[in-house]
Structure 1
Amino acid sequence: MELSAPSSSPSKKQKKVVVFDYGFGNVRSAERALARAGADVEITRDYDKALNADGLLVPGVGAFASCMKGLREARGDWIVDRRLSGGRPVMGICVGMQILFARGIEHGVESEGLDEWPGSVEPLQAEIVPHMGWNTVEAAAGSQLFAGLDADARFYFVHSYAVHDWSLETHNPAMEAPKVTWSTHGKPFVAAVENGALWATQFHPEKSGDAGAQLLTNWIGTL
């Protein structure tokens, strides 16, 4: 699949995206991928810039507890909460997705997450761990994030933990139910979520070639 170049029309203003730099993420790779997808990107942990950008991307690598500690020290928990309270888009990737859940359990130790979604991040249930390499996903019906992508599109994963059960539902007909995308490594796990202003992927779109670039283009198009 070839990714079309972003429009160069001078009348179309680029969307401002902040890659939140709290010490736990591939920020340079994310910056390059977002720029390729047409965004005006800045890597920063500045509170006001992160709060006021059109989109905020929260990366994450390493241990759940360490990422949460770094995020809190950089006031990232406050930024994510305030942005979502105002309906302003946030996207998490890899551990940046995992910390959006209520808790993470690593080596038997439970750590609190941001609790934007209920559920636990737990060890993968597979013969081979970590799950490292390319894999397909089962995109949610009506997904905007995976729009324009083939059903057999592959994305790059590097992780040893995941969410295996999704429990958040909505019974209010005025509210759109979250769109949950799944992948399988041993047991099925949550690979991506679209929930109002909050989107996230377990895989690395910035390492997923043209498929990842199209996915980021789709996100930027909603900002």
Structure 2
Amino acid sequence: MISIIDYGAGNIKSLQFALEKTGMNSQITTDEVTIKKSDAIILPGVGAFQDAMRALKEQGLISIIKQEVAKGKPLFGICLGMQLLFELSEEDGETEGFGFLTGKVRKISGNVKVPHMGWNNLIKHRNIPLCNNLAPDAFVYFVHSYAADGLDTNTLVASTIYGETIPAIVQQNNIVGMQFHPEKSGATGLQLLANFKEMIR
């Protein structure tokens, strides 16, 4: 069973439905016992970094998630959830994230429309099980205004180009992040979720 952390950051029913399609049972929860019993944790997210960290702190979820990750439990951050994995964000003033990954989240620069909304291709940098059976020209769906910067290149799995290089998939041991929405990315998104399922095993 997978715990989807519910801290008021967007509609997460579509994510739960996509997990069901790949044979994963999940529960939308903030309950400490449920989170500790789960096989993995998903940190979804739509909205502002500062608001998300405040909500997680108020519900006592930051320490619980950190404890479970320290035990080796897989943690999967999606969209804003991926950004929260890093050290800092400059959105609405500097705010500390979980600090699981080296790097800072900053606004997308370059002569492009922000927010970045739409389909972009994935450029793979590492051949790892998380990317098994992905087409060379795989496209996924993004909705974001901020992106990770200054990250450890060893954690970068795939990127996309949108005015600049945007980290799209990161992994460091039991921590995975995807800047796009796999649940809105068709067959490619479902394949990535299936690969995460194999990682949990």
TM-score by length of 1: 0.85
**Residues 179 and 162 of structure 1: CA distance in aligned 2, closer, same or farther (over 3 Å):** closer
- The runs of 5 or more residues in structure 1 that have no matched partner are 1-15, 170-176
TM-fit CA distance, 1:179: 4.4
Residue 102, structure 1, aligned to residue 79, structure 2? no
Alignment-derived partner of residue 138 in structure 1: 123
Q: Kindly report which structure 2 residues correspond to 1:212-223, keeping only aligned pairs within 5 A, or say none.
A: 212-223=189-200
Of residues 139-148 and 115-124 in structure 1, the stretch that sits farther from structure 2 once superposed is 139-148
Q: Kindly report which structure 2 residues correspond to 1:110-125, keeping only aligned pairs within 5 A, or say none.
A: 110-125=94-109
Alignment-derived partner of residue 3 in structure 1: none
Contact 2:76 2:177 in 1 (8 A): yes
Aligned counterparts of 2:175 and 2:131: Cα–Cα separation in 1? 15
Contact 1:84 1:90 in 2 (8 A): yes
Aligned equivalent of 2:44, options 51, 56, 59: 59
1:96-155 Cα deviation digits (max 9, x unpaired): 010111111124x11111111121100001321111000011123222222101111100
Alignment-derived partner of residue 185 in structure 2: 208
Which runs of at least 4 in structure 1 moved beyond 4 Å after TM superposition?
Answer: none
Of residues 133-142 and 202-211 in structure 1, the stretch that sits farther from structure 2 once superposed is 133-142
Aligned counterparts of 1:84 and 1:139: Cα–Cα separation in 2? 26
What is the identity, as a one-letter code, of the residue corresponding to 2:137? D
Instruction: Name the % identity.
Output: 37
Contact 2:2 2:40 in 1 (8 A): yes
Aligned equivalent of 1:91, options 62, 76, 79: 76
What is the identity, as a one-letter code, of the residue corresponding to 1:23? G
Contact 1:51 1:82 in 2 (8 A): no
Aligned equivalent of 1:69, options 54, 70, 93: 54
Aligned equivalent of 1:190, options 137, 145, 167: 167
- The runs of 5 or more residues in structure 2 that have no matched partner are none
Alignment-derived partner of residue 41 in structure 1: 26
TM-fit CA distance, 1:48: 1.3
Three-state SS of the structure 2 residue aligned to 1:192 is strand
Contact 1:106 1:123 in 2 (8 A): yes
Three-state SS of the structure 2 residue aligned to 1:118 is strand
Aligned counterparts of 1:40 and 1:147: Cα–Cα separation in 2? 21
Three-state SS of the structure 2 residue aligned to 1:91 is strand
What is the identity, as a one-letter code, of the residue corresponding to 1:205? P
CA-atom RMSD in angstroms: 1.3
Contact 1:134 1:155 in 2 (8 A): yes
TM-fit CA distance, 1:75: 2.1
Q: Matched residue pairs, number?
A: 199
Aligned counterparts of 1:40 and 1:59: Cα–Cα separation in 2? 16
Aligned equivalent of 1:180, options 157, 163, 173: 157
1:30-56 Cα deviation digits (max 9, x unpaired): 110111111011111111111220111
Contact 2:102 2:150 in 1 (8 A): no
Aligned counterparts of 1:24 and 1:81: Cα–Cα separation in 2? 19
Three-state SS of the structure 1 residue aligned to 2:113 is coil
